[in-house]
Amino acid sequence: MLTVKILGSGCANCRKLEAVAREAAASANLEAEFVKVTDMKQIISYDLLSTPGLVVNEKLVSSGRIPTVAEVQGWLRA
């Protein structure tokens, strides 16, 4: 199973990113566990320059923007 982490303070963009990631996983029929990371020390450990950040299986794939559902699907399948 995939582990998808949403890095951020819980702002509107963080919630939007989580919604996009959940939609991408669901429409690709992929099972994923979603984890919200709001602790700044943990977030910084991913070399994140700006939030929100998206981590798939411990690999930072996006930061500082909201990717498209298609982009997220590509990362989830990789």
Question: What is the CB neighbour count within 10 angstroms for residue 76?
Answer: 18
The mean of the pLDDT values for the chain is 96
Task: Say whether 11 is catalytic.
Answer: yes
Reported confidence tier of residue 49, pLDDT bands at 50, 70, 90: confident
43-49 LR contacts (CB < 8 Å, sep 24+):
43/7, 43/8, 46/7, 48/7
Q: Where are the beta strands (DSSP E) in the chain?
A: 2-7, 32-37, 53-56, 59-63
Residues 50-77 pLDDT 10s: 999 999 999 999 999 999 999 999 999 9
Catalytic residue among 3, 9, 10, 11: 11
Task: Say whether 72 is catalytic.
Answer: no
pLDDT at residue 39 in the model: 95
Domains of the chain, by residue range, sit at: 2-77
- From CA 61, how far away is CA 14, in angstroms rounded? 15
- From CA 21, how far away is CA 16, in angstroms rounded? 9
pLDDT at residue 15 in the model: 97
CATH class of 2-77: alpha beta
